Every structure is written in C-alpha cells, then in structure tokens.
Structure 1
C-alpha cells in the first residue's frame, strides 16, 4: 500500500533543506523555518492543538512554536523527518489518515511560493487517495454555503454540497481541489463557474487551516 504521508513528509524535508531556514512559503508570516517548527510541534506536542481549538490557550501554542523555531535548522529538519512512533498523529497506524493531506498541503505551501511553480503530475492512485478526503471536506466545510454547489474531479467523481439556491460548480484535479478547500484558493488551479457574487464569495471564504 502506498505511503503518501511518508513520501510527502520526506519530499517536503528535502525541499526545506534546499531552501534553507529563510525560504518563502505562501503562509502569511511564515518562512520555511516556521513551517518546519509547526510540523515538529504537531508531531510531538499534542497539547499544542488546544490553542487552536480554544482561543484562550493560543498563547501556549505560540510559545511552543517559537521554542521549536529556535532549534538549529538541521536539527529541526531531522526531527521532521523522524517523527515519534508514539505520537497520536504520526504513529504507524494513523499516519496515512492524519498526515497524507497535511503534508501534501504543506509541501504545496512551499512549492507554490517559488517562482514559476507548476502543479505536480501526481499518480492516479495518489489523486484518488486525495479525492476521498476532498469529497468529505467539500461536503462538510461547504454544507452551509448559500448555493447548490457541485464539486467535480474529472475521472474521480463529484460531490454535492451547499445549502441550495443558485448553482455553482467547482472543478479541478483532486490535488488542486485540496489546495482550494484547505484555504489556499488564490494558488489553486481550478475552474469556478456561477454568479460573480457567489464565486467571489467562495474564492475569499475562510476554509481549511
């Protein structure tokens, strides 16, 4: 069985080494060092998630991220490459479920900050694995969007979502739809059709993480 989470993790680590600690990402305020610190904290400090869910604890999460970012960069990358087996998000039983989308998206966060980037030619199997998660994301995160929304990945399937009303259609490969639905709409290569008001609202809606 392909291990997309592991391959994306290692490919991202390789790219982070190439770019160094001050390389660009599309995440506002984050350089490559900050993104690596986020992933290391995610692997090793489950309590960091509390600051994301509960705003009063956000300072705790920020302190953990700042502390991780002060580590020597080669050490940070080594920690990223070798997550602990006990971690609730990176243990061998849950790694693919919890990390295949996470590391695909963060790999793209770095790739798409570079000049002249192009979408990767992912295998049909990898696209299919992403589509399973994209379909669920579309149904959950867009269920209240004020339109009859159809999300289509040619060759993989489609998902209906939205609260009903005017039709809007979002079309792209599973990889590009994943980027869009994870809140990176401005760098996602998709086709979006419908009224100008609704399509602009979807392009600027806060989505994902």
Structure 2
C-alpha cells in the first residue's frame, strides 16, 4: 500500500541521486552524502541511532555515520531508497508513516531548496494535511523553544497552532508544508510571512530564520 512516507522516501532518494554526493543541503555543514548517511543510520542502526539526540553516544554515531558516508554514492542512495531492514523498529507496521512522513519531506526540501534556482512546487492536499498534523510537536519543541516571543503558526484557511504562549505575539502565515519548514529552522527558504510589530518580528528573526525581504 502506498503511503505518504513511501512517496517522500522515493522523492528524497531521487533528489539525492540527481544532486550528487557533494551537493549542499539546508542542514548546516552537511553535504548530500552526510544527509544520506544520517538517514541510513537512523533507520538501519539502532545501536548508533540514539546518538543522534543523546549527546554521550554522539561519538559512536558519528563513527558509524562516517562509515556509511564512505560507501559508493549509488549504494548509499539505494540504502535510503530501500528503507529499513526487517528487524529495524522502523519496519514495524505504521511506524514508517508516523515517523518518516515529516522527516523525509523536510529532508527532501533540504536537498531541493539548497540550490539558488529552486522554485515552489505544489504539495498534494492529502500530504499537506498529514504535514499539518505533524506540525504541532516541532512547532512547540523546535520553534516555540527557540522563540523569544509569543508565536502562532497560521495557515491561509485560518487554522492555527500555538507554538509559544506569551506576549507580544508574532503570527507566521503560510501553507502547512512551509510552516513545517519554518518550525524546523528552514524559514529563510520557506514561503511564509510574519505578522506583528516590526521590532517584535525582528526579535523572532534573530532566533528563527525568516525569508529575506526587500526594503
């Protein structure tokens, strides 16, 4: 059965393949090779994956990731495309969709938007709704934690997610996919607008990237 996670996995693998191993990404300091190796470790190496978020294990994670990064580029991309092994937690029913839809969408855009010539692309309405559902946690844990002001994320139809309570407030407006990228710190390449007092918007922009504007 096709799922959004599987679709985004295929798209991400294709973008990596097209970009090449030394292509830049929106993950600061990472090439496409670094990003691909990270994804493989996350899914295929449960002994090393905890170091992605648990600092005391980071050295082991980095060593394992470097080993994957040294593999031939076509082999590394194929590991991303083919997904986790049968004994990986990510192979359990439902886990792929729950854990990877947002992950793969964001990282696909990390590859696609890293170049200067990227253009907006339409997002399937069903995928947009899945991304909206997946926005609440990163809105609070990522954007809300870093924001120095009250922060609300609003889609064009008026639905909102409160990322951080408080005053004064900035409201960031955009489609679900763009708000998701903003929440994960990719706001400089996201099609969003910030509404609020200009000085307060500037405070937010110092903590979380916002699109560059003229004037």
Is the structural similarity TM-score above 0.5?
yes
- How far residue 115 of structure 1 moved from its aligned partner, in angstroms, is 2.5
- Output the CA distance in 1 between the equivalents of 2:137 and 2:61: 28
> Which residue, out of 145, 152, 155, partners 2:154?
152
Q: Which residue of 2 aligns with 1:3?
A: 3
Q: Which residue of 1 aligns with 2:51?
A: 51
8 Å CA contact 2:19–2:111 kept in 1: the answer is no
> Which residue, out of 197, 204, 207, partners 1:205?
207
Which one is further off, 93-102 or 156-165? 156-165
Q: Which residue of 1 aligns with 2:18?
A: 18
**Superposition pairs for residues 1-209 of structure 1, below 5 Å?**
3-83=3-83, 84-141=85-142, 142=144, 145-155=147-157, 157-205=159-207
Can you list the C-alpha shifts for 1:73-115, whole angstroms capped at 9, x where unaligned? Answer: 1111111111223322343421010000000000000000123
- Output the CA distance in 2 between the equivalents of 1:177 and 1:80: 25
- Output the CA distance in 2 between the equivalents of 1:153 and 1:30: 30
- Output the CA distance in 2 between the equivalents of 1:57 and 1:32: 23
TM-score (norm 1): 0.88
SS of the aligned residue for 2:106 comes to helix
SS of the aligned residue for 1:56 comes to helix
TM-score (norm 2): 0.86
- Output the CA distance in 2 between the equivalents of 1:94 and 1:166: 38
- How far residue 144 of structure 1 moved from its aligned partner, in angstroms, is 8.0
Q: Which residue of 1 aligns with 2:213?
A: none
Equivalences, count: 207
Unpaired segments ≥5 residues, structure 1: none
Can you list the C-alpha shifts for 1:119-156, whole angstroms capped at 9, x where unaligned? Answer: 22012111111111113432444168453432101237
